[in-house]
Amino acid sequence: MPGPLPTVVVIDDSTEVRAVITARLRLSGLLEVVGEGGDGTEAVGLAFRHQPSLLLLDLSMPVMDGLDALPGILAVSPDTRVVVYSGFEEGGLAQSAQELGAAGFIEKSLPIDRLAEELLAKLPEHHAPQHHAPSAPRERPVRSSTGSDQPTVSSDQQVLDEHLERFREVFEQAAIGMATMTLTGSIVRANRALSDLMGFKPHELVGLDYGRLTSGRGDLLDAALFDITHMSADIVHLEHDINGSIDPPRKVLATLAPVRDSRGQALYVFLQVQDITRQRAAEEELRRSEERFRLLVEAVRDYAIFMLDPYGHVASWNAGAERIKGYTASEIIGQHFRVFYPGEKREEQHPEYELQQALRTGQYGEEGWRLRKDGTRFWANVLITAVFNEMGEHIGFAKVTRDMTERRQAEELRAAASAALEEANEQLRRAAEEQKQFLAVTAHELRTPAAVLDGTADTLRRHWAELTDDDRTRLLDSMSSSAARLQRLVNDLMTASRLDADSLPLRQAATSLAVLVATAIETVRATRPGGPITTQLEPDVDVLVDPGRVVQVIENLVGNALHHGTPPVDVRIGAGDDVARVEITDAGQGVPPEVRERLFQRFSTGDGVHGTGLGLYIARELARAHGGDVSYEPGTPERPAGTFVLTLPLAPG
């Protein structure tokens, strides 16, 4: 008699993913699914209750993520083999999970047909099943144009691949060199811009140590990677020459940013490389030009050279002093040299201080503002030397003054240019960071619904007759939900793009606010089931808005409350101070203080990587485009849940 099947518990915050996995594991005939849950706390409870042979554990979940839950699972069920199942590429996640006791790591990109066998491989040999269900039929090969047999690819998979490829093109077609590296500096993926800069083909860069390309300055890379992995550095900039196959060598600015897991541990390193050869050459040419100009000015510009008596009165005067300061010898000899100083310096007795310091140390030099005879100011370089006779007696001071106004102006211009360059670099860094975050968030958000659509469609196609009516209904519901999720993501991305480009048209008309709110709530109930929604839609008012866009704002706010808050969600309308108000409140604990400052920023999420972080950003920008706003009002100790408030202009009476 064959022995009992190994038992498995499935943990994933996506109900659609769980539906596909549990159906396929049961159909495999290799495992018995004894439980499923949506977060880390449920995982610990299910492990304690069932003591399963295997537990398939997602990493990114609300309440408690997979890495936090792993020790607790093994504490209550030591014999359970926990296998991490993640939408992120493996990188360093597998090692982190194994250090916490995981038996293995499986990426969600793994074909669903292979999941059961991969899980069984994680069991000790004596737990291997005694019988095997018939293997699932393979894809029927088709004859390619070259005559070779190739497996068929479902139309769903083709659509998914094409959709994902469009997002990969952002990386591949970027004008700046980009790559992902391991924590030790080995390149695992490079785009065309980087390969062109290095003089290699993209595949030739894979596996290379980036330190070998830094013209003998691999120590810079080692130090940067140490900062990232051991000192939690967020951004590291390196400037170095590259040792590629391009001649002459290029000078580049490399920016390294770690991609971290939910515990803050670095998984891999995102690298951007910008060719600054021309920029640095231009800066060097500018420096040389400025140096030549300075030498030219010093060679042709006369010095003001004159003598002071021991008390500071002018005793001699040369032609250069007359040209610079504007006094003739007869006008100035005998006067105290304090006449060359602005009033505030004379009040401070700064001229007397200069003489004291020169007498004490032998010389005194400084730069500062001085006055010409006509009252205009010039920036002067001053050197005062105490003069002694052969007997060692102090007989006065020699004073040399140079007009440095032009040099100071040049320094101010250079400082302004440097500040502008720094600002431009900062904008570039922010743009690169946003692009990196956009790619990570979008890829993560696409992966789950895409995997559900692929797995569900394949399951229905190949096992329709074997599935129960409930299974088929549940899988079809999963497909519909995932398709709606993809559509929302595409709509959010398109709206955000148009908002950024100021190209979003608005067709405003006087519209009932109650009708807009009711329409939005019905849409949310149909597409985002998550809990009860209560409304108070009186007194109704008319607002001057684009109805479709305002419905989108309200959908985002209510959907946000359902996803991140605690049902029920209460929606109220009202008016005051010449504006209409829509207030959305849930029954949860409100937005944490540390999240509020970035609540309405693009790609900002309050629970790790869940969601694109575009919903609240789009809601506020659309409201502001109408002359309104979206804000968050924190709750009170008695009622901790905060309120999101949408304000809109009232329609003219």
- Percent of the chain clearing pLDDT 90 (strictly above): 30
Q: Looking at residue 621, what is its pLDDT?
A: 86
pLDDT tens per residue across span 433-484: 766 766 665 665 567 677 778 888 888 888 898 888 888 888 887 788 778 7
**More confident call, 255 vs 168:** 255
The string of DSSP codes covering 245-285 is S-SS--EEEEEEEEEE-TTS-EEEEEEEEEE-HHHHHHHHH
Average pLDDT over residues 333-359: 94
Q: Looking at residue 133, what is its pLDDT?
A: 41
Q: Residue 296 belongs to what H/E stretch?
A: helix 277-300
Answer whether residue 248 shows pLDDT above 80: no
pLDDT tens per residue across span 23-75: 999 999 999 999 999 888 899 999 999 999 999 998 766 567 677 788 889 98
Which of 245, 149, 148, 237 has the alpha carbon at shortest distance from 196? 245
Output the CA angle 140-146-152, nearest 5 degrees. 20
Q: Are strands 509-512 and 363-371 parallel, antiparallel or unpaired?
A: unpaired
Contact 36, 22 (CB under 8 A): yes
- Comparing 509-518, 551-560, 601-610, the range with the smallest average pLDDT is 601-610
Q: Looking at residue 91, what is its pLDDT?
A: 45
Answer whether residue 218 shows pLDDT above 80: no
Q: Looking at residue 288, what is its pLDDT?
A: 87
Average pLDDT over residues 178-199: 80
179 falls in which pLDDT band (50, 70, 90)?
Answer: confident
One-letter amino acid identity for 572?
A: R
Q: Looking at residue 43, what is its pLDDT?
A: 92
Residue ranges and CATH numbers for the domains of the chain are 7-136 (3.40.50.2300), 155-275 (3.30.450.20), 298-403 (3.30.450.20), 421-500 (1.10.287.130), 509-649 (3.30.565.10)
Q: Looking at residue 247, what is its pLDDT?
A: 67
Q: Looking at residue 152, what is its pLDDT?
A: 43
Answer whether residue 88 shows pLDDT above 60: no
265 falls in which pLDDT band (50, 70, 90)?
Answer: low
pLDDT tens per residue across span 403-428: 888 888 888 888 888 888 888 888 88
**More confident call, 92 vs 429:** 429
pLDDT tens per residue across span 497-547: 666 656 678 889 999 999 999 998 988 887 776 789 999 998 899 999 989
Average pLDDT over residues 307-336: 92
By residue count, the chain amounts to 653
Put the strands of the sheet holding 643-649 in their side by side order: 533-536, 569-576, 579-585, 643-649, 629-633
137 falls in which pLDDT band (50, 70, 90)?
Answer: very low
Answer whether residue 123 shows pLDDT above 70: yes
List of residues 6+ apart from 455 with CB closer than 8 A: 20, 21, 24, 112
Answer whether residue 606 shows pLDDT above 60: no
2 falls in which pLDDT band (50, 70, 90)?
Answer: low
Unique residue bearing structure tokens 């003069």? 387
- Comparing 267-276, 345-354, 368-377, 485-494, the range with the smallest average pLDDT is 485-494
Output the CA angle 151-156-160, nearest 5 degrees. 100
Q: Looking at residue 203, what is its pLDDT?
A: 73
Q: Looking at residue 159, what is its pLDDT?
A: 36
Distance, CA of 552 to CA of 504 (rounded, Å): 13
Class of residue 520 by CB neighbours under 10 A (exposed 0-12, middle 13-18, buried 19+): buried
Average pLDDT value over all residues in the chain? 80
